[in-house]
């Protein structure tokens, strides 16, 4: 059982946080801290001129609201939104906040990452704590 779990939450159709949240509940010690984290990657420079003013702040606020709602399902949880390289931000947070288990979802990988998605594989390779990789049920069935 873990005392501080970091559950990564991605907002795209390839990732569903439900399974990761169930796993975190199962792995958490009584009274464990749960950090639900999403990392916003920077928009491509070429796209910045086409995005409306304030888009980043609105997106961040929306993500924070959703993560806070997800956190309400836990006794001791917090929402965390970071900006930067996803794998690096996850690893930095885990190290600085004494996370003892990261729960991260993996999706159907490309040829460069045959076993895990690229973010999941980087986290698994470099994490200084346990990492639980949640595979989508549809991928396990194939």
pLDDT of 120 above 50 = yes
We report the CATH number of the domain holding residue 112 as 3.40.50.620
Rounded-to-integer distance, Cα 20 and Cα 37, Å: 12
pLDDT band at 113 (very low <50, low <70, confident <90, very high): very low
Look at the chain and report how many structural domains it folds into: 1
Look at residue 60 in the predicted model and tell me its pLDDT: 96
Contacts (Cβ under 8 Å, ≥6 apart) of 98: 4
| Residues 94-115, mean pLDDT to the nearest whole number | 77
pLDDT of 121 above 70 = yes
The pTM score is 0.88
- Which domain range does residue 97 map to? 2-141
Whether the CB-CB separation of 29 and 4 falls below 8 Å is answered with no
For the stretch 21-72, pLDDT in tens is 999 999 999 999 999 999 999 888 888 889 999 999 999 999 999 999 999 9
For the stretch 63-100, pLDDT in tens is 999 999 999 999 999 999 999 999 999 999 999 999 99
The token pair that represents 31 in the structure block: 């009274």
- Residue 112 CA, chain-centre distance (Å), reads 21
Find residue 104's DSSP bridge partners.
Answer: 133
Look at residue 75 in the predicted model and tell me its pLDDT: 92
Look at residue 137 in the predicted model and tell me its pLDDT: 60
């Amino acid at each position: 059982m873990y005392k501080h779990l970091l559950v990564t939450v991605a907002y795209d159709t390839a990732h569903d946080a439900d399974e990761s949240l169930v796993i975190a509940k199962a792995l958490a010690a009584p009274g464990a801290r749960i950090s639900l984290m999403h990392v916003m990657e920077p928009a491509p420079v070429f796209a910045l001129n086409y995005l409306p003013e304030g888009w980043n702040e609105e997106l961040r606020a929306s993500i924070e609201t959703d993560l806070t709602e997800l956190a309400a399902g836990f006794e001791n949880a917090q929402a965390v939104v970071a900006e930067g390289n996803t794998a690096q931000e996850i690893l930095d947070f885990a190290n600085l906040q004494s996370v003892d288990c990261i729960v991260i979802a993996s999706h159907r990988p490309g040829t460069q990452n045959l076993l895990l998605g690229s973010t999941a594989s980087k986290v698994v390779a470099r994490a200084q704590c346990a990492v639980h990789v949640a595979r989508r049920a549809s991928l396990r069935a194939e």
